[in-house]
Structure 1
Amino acid sequence: MTAIGIHDIELASTHHVLDLAALAATTGVDPDKYRIGLGQDEFSVPAPDEDIVTMGATAALAVLDRNGLEGVRTLLFATESGIDHSKAAGVFVHQLLGLPPQVRVAEIKQACYGGTAAIQAAIGIVQRNPRERVLVIASDVARYALDSPGEPTQGAGAAAILIAADPALIEIEPATGLFSANVDDFWRPNDSSTAIVDGKLSISAYLDAMTGAWDDLAAQGGPAISAINRLIYHQPYTKMARKAQARLAEYTGVELGDAGLAEGAVYNRRLGNAYTASLYAGVASVLDHESGLTGKRLGLFSYGSGSVSEFLTGVVQTGAESRTDHFTSVLDSRVPLSVPEYRELHARALPSDTDVVTPRVTAAPFRFAGIEGRARRYERR
C-alpha cells in the first residue's frame, strides 16, 4: 500500500497581536489566570485588510514555492469563519495563487474538526491517483464577545498542508477512531459575528469525545497507547492539551507524563485559538521543536464542537529532521496592539450594502481590499 500523508506544512497569522498581560491589567484579572490557567500568552488579531483568505493564501504560497504545482488538482479550504454562505473561500485563494483552472475547490465546515475532515478527503483523492497532490488550507479567526469568558481564548491563524504519496513529513496510518454527538457546547448562529460557548460543557464534551474516539481507534485495529510516542491535541487553549493527556492516561491506565506537550504548545500559546488550524499548528510546533522523531508515531486528536472528533496516528518521516523554526520570527514580527486599539478593531463591522475600501495595513503577500458591488475583493501586494 502506498504511504500517504503530510508532505509539507506551513503556518501563517496576522499583522497584529494582543498581549494577554495587557488585557489582564485592563480588566483587573491576575495575569496568571491566562498564562497558567489557560496556558496562553497572547493572541493574533487581524488588521482590517486581513481575513481567513489572506492568511490561508500566505501559508499556501510558501508551500507551493517549496513544492511546485505539479499534481495539485484539488484545493480544500476548511474553516468555521466562512465569508460567504455559498462561495468557498478557497476560490479566492485559487485566484490569488494563480492556480490553473483544472483544480477543484471546495469548503469544508464542522467547527475545529474541519481541517482533519479535509485531510481525510485529500487522502482518499491521493489513494485513487497517487500522482495527485492535494492542498489543504485550514484558516480561522476566533472571536468572542468583549469581557466574556471566551475573550482571552481568541486568536487567528492558518495552516497550509500538502497531502501526497510518499510524504516527506508524516505518513498517516489507515486506522482511525471516530466519535460524533449532537452537543450544544459551542456554536455561532448565522446572525452573530461572535461565538456562543458553554465552557463547562465544552470541556466535558471534548474529553468524552476523546475517549470515545480512542475506543473506536482500538476497535479499528489502531496502535496501543504504548506504541504512540507523542500525543498532539486540538488546543482551544494549551491547558486543554494537558487536561486531555491526563484524562487519556487515567482512561488507559498508562502513565503518559508531559512528553511533547510543551513542544506542541509553542505556537498555540502565541497564536491563540486558530480553530481548524489549531491541531496542525501543534503538529508543526512539535516537528519544529523536537529532534529525533524519525520513525516515531504521533497520536493526533481532532475535536470540533457540536461535535465531531477523530483520533488518528502518523509516523514521522526522515524529511521532518530538516525542518527549522522560522515561524517564531513571524510571530515576533506582529505589531502589538493596546487594549483600546484591539477593542476598536473588535467592534469594527463591514457594511453589507455599501462599497468599502480597507486601509492598507498588512505586510503579508495578500490583502483584503474591500467590498465592491457586495463582492469581496483581494489583492496581491
Structure 2
Amino acid sequence: MSTVGIHDLELATTHHVLDMADLAEARGVDPNKYVVGIGQSRMSVPAPDEDVVTMAATAAAGIVERHGTDGLRALLVATESGVDQSKSVAAFVHGMLGLPTTVRSVELKQACYGGTAALQMALGIVAREPGAKVLVISTDVARYALETPGEPTQGAAAVALLVTADPAMLAIEPIAGVATIDVDDFWRPNDSSTAVVDGALSMGAYLSSLTAAWDDFAARGGVPIEQIDRFLHHQPFTKMARKAHMSLARHVGVKLPAEAMESGLVYNRELGNSYTASLYVALASMLDAEDDLAGKRLGLFSYGSGSVGEFFTGIVQDGYRSVRRPEADRAAIENREPVTVAQYVDLHRTVLTSGEDVDTPRVTRAPFRFAGIRGRARRYERTGSAA
C-alpha cells in the first residue's frame, strides 16, 4: 500500500429547490443580497418523504452498486441533522442498503466538521487494514427559523465517499493541522428543529479556526502553501469560502489567486448549505469542472462550529476522470422540482413528532423514501427508482 484516500464519490440532494430570487422578493429584499452578497442562487428543500437518511442511502447506493461490498468494514455517517438520539443514521442506511453484518456502522457529530472526522477515521482503518474499504457519508439538512438572517443559508445534500488503499480519485496526505476552540457561535438545542447562530461571531470563529489549523499544519511539516494548486473551503455560503481564501492569503503573506478555488463553488451555489457535506460537495464540483487536475495538490479546510477546524491536503490521481460522474451530479441538481415560497414555508413548518403514527405523501423520485412513523419508530422503504 502506497497511499490511502478517496476512491469514489457520489452526491445526492432533494426533490425540491427554491430560487433565492423568489425568496428575496417574498422577504422584501434585493435579490443581489442573496445572489451576490452571500453567493447563493438556489437551495435544496426536502420533500415530505425525504430526510438525511434517504439522502445518505441514495448517495451510497451508487457506490455499493459499482464496487460491491467485498472488503467493506465500516459505514461512517456524519450529520448534525440526526433523526434519533440513540439509533444512528448509519444503522438505518446499513439496513436499507442490505450491507453485510460485518460492517461496523456509526454516526459522528461535530457540527459541519463531522464529515472530515469520519474521513480521518476511515483513513486510519484502511491504513491499519490495507485490504479494507470504508464508506463515509456526510448528510445534512440545514434549517434555520423562517424570516431570520440564517434563512437564505439553508440547503440540503449528501456525499458518499469510498475510502480505500491506492485510491483512483484523491490520495490524502498524512499531515493535517487541527484547531479545537470552545465557542458558542452556532448550535441546535435538543428541543429545537432549527439552529441558533451568532452570524458575526461564527464568521470570526471560522477564520480564526482556519489560521490556527494552518499554523498547526505548517508546524507539523505540511507542504508550503506555494505547493498547493487548488483550495477547497467549508461553504455555509459560497461567499464565506472567498473570505476564507483571502484571510488565509493575508495570514501567510502570499498572494493566492481566486481562480484556485472558484470551480469548487459551483455546486454549493445551487444546493445551499449542506453542513457536513459542503466541503465534499465542493470537491465534487471541482473534480467535475476541471479536466486537468491529475497530479495537482488540493488544500482542504473543514470547519464545524463549536468549534473544530482542520486543514489537510490530497493529490488528485491520474485516473480521477474515469471514476467521476459529472453528468449524474449535474442531473441531480438540474432535475429538482421548483417550489414557490408558500410551498417552501409549508414544508418548513411541517415537523413530525414521534407521538403520532403518520404516513408521508409519496413525492420523491429517489430510490429510498421516508415512509412515516409507526409505533414511534421511523420507517423507510425503497421506491423502485434507480439510484
Alignment of 1:54-69 (within 5 A): 54-69=54-69
Other-structure match for 2:301? 301
Other-structure match for 2:167? 167
Other-structure match for 2:39? 39
| Contact 2:354–2:377 (8 Å) recurs in 1 | no
Other-structure match for 1:107? 107
Output one character per residue of 1:231-279: Cα deviation in whole Å (capped at 9) or x when no partner: 0000000001110010011111111011232210111001100000000
| Contact 1:12–1:157 (8 Å) recurs in 2 | yes
| Contact 1:13–1:44 (8 Å) recurs in 2 | yes
Output one character per residue of 1:337-372: Cα deviation in whole Å (capped at 9) or x when no partner: 000000000000113211111110000000000010
Moved more, 274-283 or 324-333: 324-333
1:325 aligns with 2:326: yes
Output one character per residue of 1:150-208: Cα deviation in whole Å (capped at 9) or x when no partner: 00000000000000000000000000000010011000000000000000001000000
For 1:33 and 1:285, how far apart are their aligned partners in 2?
A: 24
Other-structure match for 2:251? 251
5+ residue gaps, structure 1, are none
Moved more, 37-46 or 66-75: 66-75
| Contact 1:14–1:50 (8 Å) recurs in 2 | yes
For 1:219 and 1:351, how far apart are their aligned partners in 2?
A: 49
Other-structure match for 1:72? 72
Alignment of 1:330-369 (within 5 A): 330-369=332-371
1:304 deviation in Å?
Answer: 0.2
Output one character per residue of 1:293-328: Cα deviation in whole Å (capped at 9) or x when no partner: 111100000000000010000000012133342211
Moved more, 346-355 or 108-117: 346-355
For 1:306 and 1:362, how far apart are their aligned partners in 2?
A: 33
Output one character per residue of 1:75-111: Cα deviation in whole Å (capped at 9) or x when no partner: 0010000111111011111111110111100000000
1:209 deviation in Å?
Answer: 0.2
Other-structure match for 2:20? 20
- Report the aligned-residue RMSD: 0.8
1:69 deviation in Å?
Answer: 1.2
Alignment of 1:145-156 (within 5 A): 145-156=145-156
For 1:262 and 1:154, how far apart are their aligned partners in 2?
A: 21
Other-structure match for 1:266? 266
Aligned-partner residue type, residue 115 of structure 2:
G
The DSSP-based 3-state class of the residue aligned with 2:162 is: strand
Other-structure match for 1:157? 157
Other-structure match for 2:223? 223
Other-structure match for 2:4? 4
5+ residue gaps, structure 2, are none
Other-structure match for 1:372? 374
For 1:379 and 1:285, how far apart are their aligned partners in 2?
A: 30
Other-structure match for 1:314? 314
| Contact 1:78–1:139 (8 Å) recurs in 2 | yes
For 1:329 and 1:354, how far apart are their aligned partners in 2?
A: 36
Other-structure match for 2:85? 85
| Contact 2:48–2:347 (8 Å) recurs in 1 | yes
Aligned-partner residue type, residue 351 of structure 2:
A
For 2:258 and 2:369, how far apart are their aligned partners in 1?
A: 40
| Contact 1:369–1:377 (8 Å) recurs in 2 | yes
1:6 deviation in Å?
Answer: 0.4
The DSSP-based 3-state class of the residue aligned with 2:279 is: helix
For 1:319 and 1:105, how far apart are their aligned partners in 2?
A: 29
Count of matched residue pairs: 381
Output one character per residue of 1:54-91: Cα deviation in whole Å (capped at 9) or x when no partner: 00000001111122211111000100001111110111
Aligned-partner residue type, residue 319 of structure 1:
G
1:2 deviation in Å?
Answer: 2.8
For 2:206 and 2:369, how far apart are their aligned partners in 1?
A: 35
For 2:289 and 2:353, how far apart are their aligned partners in 1?
A: 43
Aligned-partner residue type, residue 137 of structure 1:
I
Other-structure match for 1:211? 211
The DSSP-based 3-state class of the residue aligned with 1:314 is: strand
Q: Work out the percentage of aligned pairs sharing the same amino acid.
A: 61
Aligned-partner residue type, residue 370 of structure 1:
G
For 1:27 and 1:218, how far apart are their aligned partners in 2?
A: 45
Other-structure match for 2:135? 135
For 1:168 and 1:314, how far apart are their aligned partners in 2?
A: 12
The DSSP-based 3-state class of the residue aligned with 1:318 is: coil
The DSSP-based 3-state class of the residue aligned with 1:208 is: helix
Aligned-partner residue type, residue 35 of structure 1:
V
Aligned-partner residue type, residue 332 of structure 2:
V
1:219 deviation in Å?
Answer: 0.8
1:330 deviation in Å?
Answer: 1.3
| Contact 2:358–2:373 (8 Å) recurs in 1 | yes
Output one character per residue of 1:21-53: Cα deviation in whole Å (capped at 9) or x when no partner: 001111111001111110000100000100001
Moved more, 36-45 or 259-268: 259-268
For 1:62 and 1:293, how far apart are their aligned partners in 2?
A: 24
| Contact 2:234–2:301 (8 Å) recurs in 1 | yes
